[in-house]
Amino acid sequence: MTSATQVWERLFIGGIDDAEALAESNPLDITTVITLSRGTVRKFAYAVNYLHFPVPEARPIRGGTFDGIIDAIWENIRWGKVLVQSLAGANRAPIVAAAWMHVVGCKGIDAALVDIGKLRTIVPNQILLRSVKELL
C-alpha cells in the first residue's frame, strides 16, 4: 500500500488498488474503506469495514450522499483509520477528505486541498468541487 496518503491523523486517501492491497497487507492498520467510485473493491481484508458511496466523477454530488459520506467518515474515524478511495485517488477522494476537514473545523476546504496537493497529485473536478462547497 505505497500510494495511500495520510492527510490527517487517521484519514488516508488513495485509489482502488490501495483498498484491494489491504487483502494482502495492512501496514497502516486501516479499519474502514470508503469507496467513492462506481466500481467496488473486489479483494477484501478480514476485519476491515467496507462502505460504498458511488459518486459521479464530474457531476454535482447529491446532498444526501454527501451527508452519508461525511457521517461515515465521522463515525468510523472515531475508532480507527479510514481510507477514502476513488478510482485513482486524485479527484473524488481528495475533495471528500478536504470537505471532511472543513466540516470538523480542522481547516477550510481550499486550504485542505492545497495541503493534500503537496502530498500527492490531485486533479479535483470543478463541477464536483463546486457542488461540495455548496453543501458545506
Q: The pTM is what?
A: 0.96
128 grid coordinates: 464536483
SS3 73: helix
Per-residue pLDDT tens digits for 72-117: 999 999 999 999 999 999 999 999 999 999 999 999 999 999 999 9
Please state, in angstroms and rounded to a whole number, the distance separating the CA atoms of residues 113 and 109.
6
What domains lie within the chain, and their CATH numbers? 5-135 (3.90.190.10)
Per-residue pLDDT tens digits for 22-46: 999 999 999 999 999 998 899 999 9
Please state, in angstroms and rounded to a whole number, the distance separating the CA atoms of residues 3 and 80.
19
Strands 30-35 and 81-85: parallel
Please state, in angstroms and rounded to a whole number, the distance separating the CA atoms of residues 8 and 63.
24
Please state, in angstroms and rounded to a whole number, the distance separating the CA atoms of residues 123 and 78.
28
User: CA–CA distance from 28 to each of 5, 56, 80, 81 (Å)?
Assistant: 10, 28, 11, 8
